[in-house]
């Protein structure tokens, strides 16, 4: 689908507009399949842009309007089962909105639905986003385990896109478990692969993770260069779904480099809280406020 191709390449605005056109066409012709795919495309675009409430609405419409009898048609025409993939995307949205338990439950349901569907690409999609779901909660062991499963599955069926993302997050998990050199290498390889393939969605957050890992090893100059790169990308594409987390990470890096620079770090944490509040991202707001609270 052209709308999703635009989104993957970081053109979220065009992806949303194309989804809107598809929805209009579906409503005009009474084509329920087009309407479902349109809401999926619009939900994904708004998710990346940090418009979580709108994304939730679109994903819920997919799940309400989806006809299981049309699964094969969706897969044949659009390459995936929309109900399967929307469940896991909705889980990520619910996490941001602060519905952690519901997000966890929906993540598990997504995996069950993906396995039951029997469509490799749809299941690979779910497995990859389960890695994200655990990473965003700071669950190191679970991130590594889900990443290993995702990498193995994506490798088996030759899905380089999902393989690359899972490889990045697997590398992050390794760095948190003390395997710094190996983890950084995997992350760098993943970043290089994603960038060379023009898969721009997700890169700002990955660069921030890499910045945090670099700071942990004392490479502060590289860390701040990566942060700058991430914000340049955000300004170009409008990918703001993890902007609050990125400011929080920036604050942690500042404190690590200069423990006495309390005011600059505090400003970064405060900005993270403000952005999260504006987005309705309760979960990310709480994380930023916890950092402020720890500073006293």
Domains of the chain: 204-296 (1.25.40)
Count the neighbouring beta carbons within 10 Å of the beta carbon of residue 68: 10
DSSP state letters, 244-286 = HHHHHHHHHHHHHH-TT-HHHHHHHHHHHHHHHHHHT-HHHHH
The single-letter DSSP state of residue 215 is H
d(CA 74, CA 84): 11
Mean pLDDT on 172-179:
96
- Please report the pLDDT score of residue 198 as a whole number: 63
Share of the chain above pLDDT 90, in %: 84
Residue 39: pLDDT band by 50, 70, 90 thresholds? very high
Could you give the C-alpha distances from 58 to 175, 243, 281, in angstroms and in order?
A: 36, 21, 17
Q: Which two tokens stand for residue 95?
A: 């996490």
Q: For residue 194, which of 215, 170, 173, 163 has the smallest C-alpha distance?
A: 163
pLDDT confidence bin for 197, thresholds 50/70/90: low
Can you give the pLDDT at residue 54? Answer: 97
Q: What is the mean pLDDT of the chain?
A: 93
* pTM summary value: 0.94
Residue 128 reports pLDDT greater than 60:
yes
What are the residue ranges of helices labelled H in the chain? 2-8, 12-29, 32-48, 52-65, 71-78, 82-96, 100-117, 120-135, 140-157, 160-176, 180-196, 203-216, 220-237, 243-257, 262-279, 282-295
Q: Give the pair of three-digit tokens for residue 277.
A: 């509040």
User: What average pLDDT does the segment 109-126 reach?
Assistant: 96
For residue 210, name the pLDDT band (cuts at 50, 70, 90).
very high
* Per-residue pLDDT at 199 exceeds 80: no
- Give the largest Cα separation in the chain, rounded: 63
CA distances from 159 to 122, 128, 155, 209 (A): 11, 11, 6, 23
> What separation in angstroms does the CA of 253 have from each of 210, 266, 284?
11, 12, 17
> Please, are residues 65 and 36 in contact by the beta-carbon 8 Å criterion?
yes
In 3D space, the residue among 182, 180, 202 whose CA is nearest the CA of residue 191 turns out to be: 202
């Amino acid at each position: 689908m052209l709308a999703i191709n635009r989104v993957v390449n970081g053109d979220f605005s065009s992806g949303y507009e194309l989804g809107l056109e598809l929805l209009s066409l579906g409503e005009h012709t009474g084509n329920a399949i087009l309407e479902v795919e349109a809401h999926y495309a619009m939900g994904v675009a708004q998710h990346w842009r940090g418009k979580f409430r709108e994304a939730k609405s679109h994903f819920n419409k997919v799940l309400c309007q989806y006809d299981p009898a049309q699964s094969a048609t969706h897969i044949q025409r659009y390459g995936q089962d929309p109900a399967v993939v929307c469940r896991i995307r909705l889980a990520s949205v619910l996490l941001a909105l602060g519905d952690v338990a519901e997000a966890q439950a929906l993540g598990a349901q997504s995996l069950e639905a993906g396995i039951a569907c029997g469509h490799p690409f749809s299941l690979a999609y779910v497995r990859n986003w389960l890695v994200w779901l655990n990473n965003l909660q700071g669950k190191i062991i679970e991130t590594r385990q889900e990443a290993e499963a995702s990498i193995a599955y994506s490798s088996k069926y030759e899905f380089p896109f999902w393989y690359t993302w899972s490889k990045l997050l697997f590398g992050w998990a390794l760095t948190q478990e003390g395997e710094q050199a190996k983890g950084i290498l995997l992350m760098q390889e993943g970043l290089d692969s994603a960038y060379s393939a023009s898969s721009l969605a997700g890169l700002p957050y990955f660069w921030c993770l890499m910045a945090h890992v670099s700071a942990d090893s004392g490479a502060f100059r590289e860390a701040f260069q990566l942060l700058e790169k991430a914000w340049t990308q955000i300004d170009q594409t409008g990918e703001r779904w993890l902007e609050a987390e990125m400011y929080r990470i920036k604050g942690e890096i500042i404190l690590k480099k200069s423990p006495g620079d309390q005011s600059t770090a505090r400003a970064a944490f405060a900005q993270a809280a403000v952005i999260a509040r504006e987005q309705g991202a309760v979960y990310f707001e709480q994380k930023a406020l916890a950092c402020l609270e720890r500073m006293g």
